[in-house]
């Protein structure tokens, strides 16, 4: 391990160059993601660690955390550490990065870490050896676009094709935009979806930060319009070969003409034409939730696209176990704030 060393100030160009070589899409590990998080959430701090072998980058890790009462709360790393899994010494690079992360956490009084890692990377034993516990698993839903529009159309369910045809016959039109007015329209539909389903997504400040910081040609909203009014929308970013549908919303008044189906279909069509190979649609339950529940409806809707489940394993570690009460107080305060906000 002596030939490796850690740097905390790797330039953005070197960071993103390594990322581009070793992933088909990992938005949360790109350099800009950290800057977006800091701008959107004033309490957010970003940690970036690069494992170097001589002058070459052997791995990177980016995480975010918030500070309250002088303590760092939960340090979250999404799809990291990222290393070259084809390198015979990748295990050492992961270990070096995790050790550096823990050292950083202790210096900055961070209480706990939560790292979400693709199961396909096969690094479970490394995390276990470094004292992390496996606390859960999530399922990301990804549609394969590699074989083009015709193959994609044949692969989706009959019900999905019927709904798309219905929307087109009813005159639903889908367009892409970078206009702030359309961003606000999308956000109003996202808020409507949040209130209906009882979930929370990103605040408006986060979407605005993406548009201010991320390359303009790699982020946009797609809106579905019916009878002259936008009734469905999705916010997308592109990274590597992947289009990420980060958030979506709709107005119930348009549901009868199936705008969500045709909107996502048109985004996939656009992605195929632009040479992207994956459409990332967020999380999905697996096994399916109880039939008839709102979660079941979302599960069925996504599964009709005939995509693939990509599992994320959640690893957890307390860096400062004796300060759990501080973490609990912060979470209690957040619950109170959210309750006040809902009123």
Lowest-confidence segment of 66-80, 213-227, 266-280, 296-310 by average pLDDT: 296-310
Residue 111: pLDDT over 70? yes
Q: How far is CA 147 from the centre of its chain?
A: 24
Which of left, alpha, beta for 271 (phi over 0: left; psi -120 to 50: alpha)?
alpha
Dump pLDDT digits (tens) for 42-61. Answer: 899 999 999 999 999 999 99
Dump pLDDT digits (tens) for 1-54. Answer: 458 999 999 999 999 999 999 999 999 999 999 999 999 998 999 999 999 999
Quick one: pLDDT at residue 340? 34
- 146-276 falls under which CATH superfamily? Gcn5-related N-acetyltransferase (GNAT) (3.40.630.30)
Closest CA to 36 of 186, 178, 205: 205
**Alpha carbon distance 107, 134 (integer Å):** 24
Q: Give strand ranges (E) for 207-258.
A: 219-226, 229-239, 242-250
What confidence tier does 248 reach under pLDDT thresholds 50, 70, 90?
Answer: very high
Higher pLDDT, 81 or 336: 81
Q: What would the 3-class secondary structure string for 278-327 be?
A: EEEEEECCCCCCCCCCHHHHHHHHHHCCCCEEEEEEEEEEECCHHHHHHH
Quick one: pLDDT at residue 73? 87
Quick one: pLDDT at residue 69? 82
Quick one: pLDDT at residue 320? 83
Residue 331: pLDDT over 70? no
Residue spans of the domains in the chain: they are: 4-138+312-342, 146-276
Cα angle: 25, vertex 278, 223; to 5 degrees: 105
Quick one: pLDDT at residue 257? 96
Dump pLDDT digits (tens) for 76-109. Answer: 999 999 999 999 999 999 999 999 999 999 999 9
**Alpha carbon distance 10, 99 (integer Å):** 18
Burial letters 83-100, b for 16+ CB under 10 A, else e: bbeeeeebbbbbbbbbeb
* Domains 4-138+312-342 and 146-276 belong to one CATH topology: yes
The DSSP secondary structure of 105-156, one letter per residue, reads HHHTTEEEEEEEEEGGG--HHHHHHTT-EEEEEEEEEEEE-TTHHHHHHHHS
Quick one: pLDDT at residue 338? 44
**Alpha carbon distance 311, 137 (integer Å):** 7
Give the mean pLDDT of the chain.
Answer: 91
Q: Name the percent of the chain lying above pLDDT 90.
A: 80
Residue 327: pLDDT over 90? no
What confidence tier does 332 reach under pLDDT thresholds 50, 70, 90?
Answer: very low
Residue 226: pLDDT over 60? yes
DSSP 27: G
Dump pLDDT digits (tens) for 267-289. Answer: 999 999 999 999 999 988 776 66
CATH 3.40.630.30 describes domain 4-138+312-342 = yes
Residue 172: pLDDT over 80? yes
In this structure, the number of other CB atoms found within 10 A of the CB of residue 109 comes to 15
- What DSSP element (H or E) covers 258? none
Quick one: pLDDT at residue 322? 72
Write down the pTM of the prediction.
0.91
Residue 335: pLDDT over 90? no
Q: No. of H helices and E strands in the chain? A: 11, 13
Closest CA to 48 of 110, 126, 101, 2: 101
Quick one: pLDDT at residue 195? 87
What number is the average pLDDT over the span 305-309?
94
What number is the average pLDDT over the span 177-189?
97
Quick one: pLDDT at residue 68? 84
The DSSP secondary structure of 63-95, one letter per residue, reads EEEEEETTEEEEEEEES-SEE-TTSTTHHHHHH
């Amino acid at each position: 391990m002596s030939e490796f060393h850690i740097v905390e100030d790797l330039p953005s160009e070197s960071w993103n160059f390594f990322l581009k070589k070793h992933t088909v899409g990992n938005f949360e590990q790109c350099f800009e993601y950290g800057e977006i998080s800091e701008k959107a959430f004033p309490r957010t701090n970003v940690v970036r660690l690069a494992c170097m072998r001589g002058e070459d980058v052997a791995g990177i890790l980016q995480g975010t955390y918030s500070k309250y009462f002088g303590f760092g709360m939960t340090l979250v790393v999404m799809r990291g550490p990222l290393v070259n899994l084809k390198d015979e010494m990748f295990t050492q690079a992961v270990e070096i990065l995790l050790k550096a992360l823990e050292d950083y956490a202790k210096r900055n009084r961070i209480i706990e870490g939560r790292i979400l890692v693709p199961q396909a990377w096969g690094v479970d034993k490394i995390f276990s050896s470094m004292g992390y516990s496996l606390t859960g698993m999530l399922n990301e839903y990804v549609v394969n676009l590699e074989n083009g529009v015709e193959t994609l159309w044949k692969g989706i369910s009959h019900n999905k094709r019927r709904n798309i045809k219905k929307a087109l016959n009813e005159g639903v039109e889908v367009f892409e935009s970078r206009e702030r007015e359309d961003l606000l329209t999308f956000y109003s539909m996202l808020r409507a979806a949040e209130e209906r389903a009882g979930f929370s997504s990103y605040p408006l400040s986060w979407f605005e930060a993406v548009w201010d910081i991320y390359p303009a040609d790699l982020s946009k909203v797609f809106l579905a319009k019916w009878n002259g009014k936008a009734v469905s929308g999705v916010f997308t970013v592109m990274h590597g070969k992947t289009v990420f549908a980060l958030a979506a919303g709709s107005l119930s008044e348009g549901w009868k003409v199936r705008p969500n189906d045709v909107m996502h279909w048109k985004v996939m069509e656009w992605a195929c034409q632009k040479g992207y190979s994956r459409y990332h649609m967020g999380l999905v339950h697996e096994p399916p939730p109880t039939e008839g529940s709102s979660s079941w409806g979302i599960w069925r809707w996504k599964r009709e696209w005939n995509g693939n489940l990509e599992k994320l394993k959640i690893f957890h570690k307390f860096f400062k176990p004796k300060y759990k009460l501080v973490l609990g107080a912060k979470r209690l305060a957040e619950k109170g704030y959210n309750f006040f906000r809902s009123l």
